[in-house]
Chains A and B, each alone.
Chain A
Amino acid sequence: MAATKKRTNPMLAALTTSALALPGLNVKADSAPEAASVGYRFYVYQEGDAPVDKLSSGSPERYSIYVNQFQLLAPLNESVSINFNYIQESMSGASPVGTEAGDGGESQLIMSAASIKESRRDVSSTVRWYAENGNLGMSVGVSNENDYDATYGGIDVERHFNKKNTSVKLASSVSSDTLSPTGRVDEQSKQFTQSKQSVSMVASITQLVSAQAMLQTGFGTTLLSGYLTDPYKALEGDVRPESKNQYTWSAGARIFFAAQDAAMHIGYRYYTDDWNINSHAVKLSWYQNIKYDIQLIPSLRYYVQTEAEFYDRYFTTARSDGFFSTDYRLSSYGAISAKLKYVQTLKRFSYTATIEWYDSSASYSYRNISFESPGLVNYVMFTTGLNFNF
């Protein structure tokens, strides 16, 4: 047995230099995925029936939505990846058109007839470039429905600083949509067609504060313009402004608990727009690791919003600005949702299953809401998915 101390030797230098040229020894955290993966996800979304006692017309059976999603992620080379996403959605059921005054002055729900059957297809692609300290993504997509077409695109850039303890992300996207509601014609008896545009910008910063904790905050704005009225609700009286400026601020923390082998994610989001809707959302999730291949994630979310300036459950006189809507989504309400997600990672597959219960009601608001919209929705959503890595 013998041992010596290290010193430089040309043979060792040659071997070491050659070893360090191996790609596995030059890993960048921000590197393109090494292998292609395909994923499939199936969602079932079922809304609870509308309250029959508050129904003025239409069907109480609300939306059922089935979604098939396929995803392909493939590396093009060491620093570029491409992603394709295809979504096919089929919807059936009735949706709330608005509310009106009942005989006793109570608000009554107008539902559409139950015959709505629609399908939507969405195709999008993202190309992402990876560099030593960040990545850049560019995406485009189109979505088609028989009465709604959208074309969208976006660019995002993420940069890491401070030994990757700080990350800054900027993203911007635009969308141009065309609405051609079924059965609606304009003055010349041609298909009634309208358009709307949106521009979004988001900036966020993530900071690792210790090995166990990470903080994140972000600011976003979306400017919408064009025809923002719901074309089906418009028939029953729904006129909205032709612009909407939305602002969001979010903050969150992730804390890892080593003894429990779990992490807690806590997040808050504030939203405000110039239609006078303000909302607060708080979400708490617990990521529990079980062995190293299973993760169980229960989460709870609380949401509350104020109503739009021009919302009411019914109108007896016209508003001076000419805007009015009885859409439940613009009313004051609160919502609670509970979700349980299961993730299992096998050698080449990962499997996820999620169930979510969502319940909205005026009584969940911390504010005192005198009149609840009967259009408020409750739903159960089940998602299951499979991912395969090559």
Chain B
Amino acid sequence: MSSVKKDSLLKVFSFKAMGSPCKIHVYLSRQQELHVAQAAIQLVHQLEAKYSRYQSTSILSKMNKDGETTGLDNETIALLNYADIAFHNSDGLFDITTGVLRKAWNFKSQSIPTHELIESLMPYIGWQKIIREGASIIIPKGMQIDFGGIVKEYAADAVASYFLAHNVCHGLVDLGGDIRAIGPHPSGKPWQVGIRNPCTPKAAIAKIELSSGGVATSGNYERFISVNGHRYGHVLNPLTGWPVSGVSSVSVHADTCIVAGTASTIGLLKGPSEGKHWLNDLGVEYVLQEE
């Protein structure tokens, strides 16, 4: 099928998953495709159940609890490989072991932790300390891994791939701001994806026209601690244990949402000048907003 007739129907499925409001906009032209959409939504719930750190039954929670796990499934191995590549291509800034710092940083409070507390946690951070061999992983005691910066983006890609594999070629997947185009509108027109302004989060400051690939945004503005006029954003540098500053958000457009998400996180962590430099080098379309 090379084209979809004009009377194919745009359906919007709204649901909540991975702690975020999610929306799938998709043009369906056959009754059976409704089942494809249902299965695609199911896919998001399945990934959430598998990798959520809030669910004690998730594979991730078990890995963190047991320390040593053998017989990991292909998908988990592939996610760990991805995290490894991201770590090594970001000079250690993209690190899925950073979550331990949540013990020190509480962004619901209005106080910052002591240097001593941060320093006491630093030995438990560092992807290079995780031991991996084939389908086995050893997470040293006190350390934790967290797919928070990967799985939602991966789910957006997986949903789009699922639709494409079932010949549904026109739509947009939005999992809490992690966006992936299935394909343009049937007319060929791209989707208009708004980039929010940190100061007025409800208004878009820029629009990316999206026909393919994904857009992900890393923001430092949603949660922060303000002490003596200094703003401490929630994005933490795994090398220092302290929030990064200088950039309020980075949105990246890449071939996949997962790569867009990783690039936007690294861009944010690198700070305004090095971040821009790194993103320019990477060769992706991006919008970087300084503080």
Identify the A interface with B (CB < 8 A). 1-9, 11-12, 14-16, 18-29, 31, 34-35, 78, 163-165, 208, 210-212, 214, 254, 256, 258-259, 261-263, 287, 289, 292-293, 295, 345, 347, 389
Contact = CB atoms under 8 A, between A and B. Distances in A.
Contact of A258 (B3, B7, B161, B166): B7
B30 A212 contact: yes
A292 B276 contact: no
A18 B85 contact: yes
B34 interface: yes
Nearest to B170: A211
Interface stretch (B101-109, B112-120, B152-160, B237-245): B152-160
Given A1-B288, A212-B7, A389 B1 contact: no
A263 B31 contact: yes
A164 B38 CA distance: 21
Given A22-B158, A25-B158, A258-B7, 11 more contacts: A12-B254, A18-B81, A18-B85, A21-B81, A22-B79, A34-B43, A211-B1, A212-B30, A256-B30, A256-B31, A292-B38
B161 A164 contact: no
Given A2-B280, A15-B259, A27-B165, A78 B89 contact: no
B66 interface: no
Interface stretch (B8-16, B135-143, B227-235): B8-16
B283 interface: yes
A29 B169 CA distance: 13
B78 A1 contact: no
B167 A164 contact: yes
B285 A3 contact: yes
Interface of B: 1, 3-5, 7-9, 11, 13, 28-32, 34, 37-38, 42-43, 45-47, 74-75, 78-79, 81-82, 85-86, 89, 154-155, 157-158, 161-162, 164-167, 206, 254-256, 258-259, 262-263, 276, 279-289
A34 B38 CA distance: 14
Contacts of B255: 16
A211 B5 contact: yes
A6 B283 CA distance: 5
B75 A29 contact: no
A23 B76 CA distance: 9
A26 B75 CA distance: 11
B31 A289 contact: yes
Contact of A19 (B32, B37, B157): B157
A278 B276 CA distance: 77
| Central interface residue in A25, A261, A293, by most chain B CB within 10 Å | A25
B167 A27 contact: no
A247 B165 CA distance: 36
A256 B43 CA distance: 25
B161 A24 contact: yes
Nearest to B78: A22
Q: Which 5 A-B pairs have the closest CB atoms?
A: A24-B158, A263-B31, A211-B29, A258-B9, A27-B165
A24 B159 CA distance: 8
A18 B82 contact: yes
9 contacts: A2-B279, A6-B284, A18-B78, A22-B157, A256-B31, A258-B8, A289-B34, A292-B13, A292-B37
Contact of A23 (B28, B74, B259): B74
SS of A interface (majority): loop
Contacts of A5: 283, 285
Q: Is the interface of B mostly helix, strand, loop or mixed?
A: helix
A19 B45 contact: no
A211 B47 CA distance: 30
Contacts of B166: 29
Interface centre among B13, B34, B206, B285 (most CB of A within 10 A): B34
A334 B165 CA distance: 44
Contacts of A165: 1
Nearest to B287: A1
Contacts of B13: 292
Given A19-B157, A208-B1, A345-B38, A256 B29 contact: yes
A24 B11 CA distance: 23
Contact of A34 (B28, B46, B165, B279): B46
A212 B30 CA distance: 6
A14 B82 CA distance: 9
Contact of A29 (B34, B74, B165): B165
B161 A27 contact: yes
Given A4-B280, A27-B165, A289-B34, A212 B29 contact: yes
A375 to B, nearest CB: 39
A123 B74 CA distance: 33
B285 A347 contact: no
Nearest to A20: B256
B262 A15 contact: yes
Given A16-B256, A16-B259, A22-B79, A1 B158 contact: no
B31 A2 contact: no
B8 A28 contact: no
A293 to B, nearest CB: 8
Task: Kindly name the residue among B45, B167, B276 whose own CB sees the greatest number of chain A CB atoms within 10 A.
Answer: B167
A27 B283 contact: no
Contacts of A22: 75, 78-79, 82, 154, 157-158, 258
Nearest to B258: A19
A31 B262 CA distance: 29
A257 B62 CA distance: 47
A63 B15 CA distance: 47
B127 to A, nearest CB: 14
Contacts of A261: 9
Contacts of B164: 27
A269 to B, nearest CB: 21
A298 to B, nearest CB: 14
A217 to B, nearest CB: 18
Nearest to A14: B85
Nearest to A287: B31
A13 to B, nearest CB: 10
A35 B43 CA distance: 10
A2 B286 contact: yes
A43 to B, nearest CB: 23
